Amino acid sequence: MLDLSCKLPLTYDCLLQNPTPFERSEIMNILPIANFALSLSLVLPLAADAQVLSKYGADVDLTTAKKIIVAAEAEANQKGWPVAIAIVDTHGLLVSFQRLDQTQHGSVNVAIEKARTAALFRRESKVFEDQIAQGGVNLKLLSLPGALGIEGGLPIIVDGKVVGGIGVSGAKSSEDAEVGKAGLKAIAN
């Protein structure tokens, strides 16, 4: 008898109890296909919700990086937030960096990692923070190499293409993002 209440991955024992030799042969032939089809049906809805990512462009140059840092620094100074500001290229390599006076030392590396996350994954680091906060299966993102799930990393987009990332650390993570966005306004088209 065929049991349709089986869970993935489908197994021979779950599908049939007391099978005939013919049923056994047929199930063994379709089992890999059935598992693939069921797995695909679980993944496709996730793909439909996925964000469309910008393509990579030429790496951010030093002149552009400095413009972004000057604007970000001005915002941080105006708000009185001692932060570290990092600009990386599309490969996550440091292009420019600024640490304001009295910035906590730990924020130096955090700013760089936020910038890397934004550049390497072509999305804000807050996306990872939000997914991790949901818990469950999303906790696997905590071990994703190169991804720091803390708000404050933003991709640098020029002419619709990702050219690098900015990372800010030292204030609340939402304030870090505010500083980063102020920096990006300096190069907005």
User: In angstroms, rounded to a whole number, what is the distance separating the alpha carbons of residues 69 and 61?
Assistant: 12
* Helices 125-133 and 107-121: angle between axes, nearest 10 degrees: 90
Q: Which pair of structure tokens corresponds to residue 100?
A: 């304001």
Check residue 157 and give its pLDDT: 96
**Same structural domain for residues 45 and 134?**
no
**Same structural domain for residues 40 and 81?**
no
**Same structural domain for residues 152 and 178?**
yes
**Same structural domain for residues 17 and 109?**
no
* Domain at 180, CATH number: 3.30.450.150
Structural domain contains residue 75: yes
Check residue 27 and give its pLDDT: 61
Structural domain contains residue 7: no
Structural domain contains residue 133: yes
State the first-to-last Cα distance of the chain, in angstroms, to the nearest integer: 66
**Same structural domain for residues 147 and 177?**
yes
Tell me if the pTM is above 0.85: no
Domain extent, residue 92, equals 55-185
**Same structural domain for residues 169 and 88?**
yes
Check residue 48 and give its pLDDT: 39
**Same structural domain for residues 73 and 138?**
yes
**Same structural domain for residues 83 and 16?**
no
Structural domain contains residue 156: yes
Asked if residues 120 and 146 have their Cβ atoms less than 8 Å apart, the reply is yes
Structural domain contains residue 2: no
List per-residue pLDDT tens for the chain, 189 residues long. Answer: 444 555 545 555 555 566 666 666 666 666 666 555 544 443 343 343 456 788 999 999 999 999 999 999 999 999 999 999 999 999 999 999 999 999 999 999 999 999 999 999 999 999 999 999 999 998 999 999 999 999 999 999 999 999 999 999 999 999 999 999 999 999 996
**Same structural domain for residues 17 and 64?**
no
Number of domains, the chain: 2
Q: Residue 117: CB partners within 8 Å, gap ≥ 6?
A: 125, 128, 146, 147, 148, 149, 153, 165, 167
**Same structural domain for residues 101 and 137?**
yes
